Amino acid sequence: MPPLFDRIVIVGPGLIGGSFGMAARAGKLVGSVVGVGHRPASLDEARRLGAVDDFTMDSAQAVSQADLVLLATGVSTLCCQVSDFLPRMKPGAILTDVGSVKECVGRAAEEAARIKPDGALFVGGHPLAGSEQRGIAAARADLFRGALCILTPSPATDPRGEALRRVRALWEALGCTVREMPAERHDRLLAQVSHLPHAAASCLMNCVSDEALAVAARGFMDTTRIASGDAPLWRDICMANREALAPALRAMAEELARFAQALEAGDGQAILNRLQRAKERRDGRNG
Residue 133 confidence (pLDDT):
75
Residue 117 confidence (pLDDT):
83
Least confident range from 73-77, 187-191, 283-287: namely 283-287
Residue 286 pLDDT exceeds 80? no
Q: What is the pLDDT of residues 82-110, one digit of tens each?
A: 999 999 999 999 999 999 999 999 999 99
pLDDT band of 285, cuts 50, 70, 90: confident
- CATH number for the region 186-286 comes to 1.10.3660.10
Residue 275 pLDDT exceeds 60? yes
Report the alpha-carbon distance of residue 1 to residue 13 in Å, rounded. 26
Q: How many residues does the chain have?
A: 287
Q: Kindly report the pTM of this predicted structure.
A: 0.92
Q: Which residue from 143, 146, 83 is spatially nearest to 111, judged by alpha carbons?
A: 83
Residue 115 pLDDT exceeds 90? no
Q: What is the pLDDT of residues 145-197, one digit of tens each?
A: 999 999 999 999 999 999 999 999 999 999 999 999 999 999 999 999 999 99
- 5-181 shares its CATH topology with 186-286: no
Q: So where are the chain's domains?
A: 5-181, 186-286
C-alpha count within 13 angstroms, C-beta hemisphere, residue 177:
3
Between the CA of residue 237 and those of 199, 202, 232, what are the distances in Å?
11, 14, 9
Averaged pLDDT score across all residues of the chain: 95
Residue 280 pLDDT exceeds 60? yes
- CATH number for the region 5-181 comes to 3.40.50.720
Q: Who contacts 106 (Cβ-Cβ below 8 Å, separation ≥6)?
A: 124, 152, 154, 157, 183
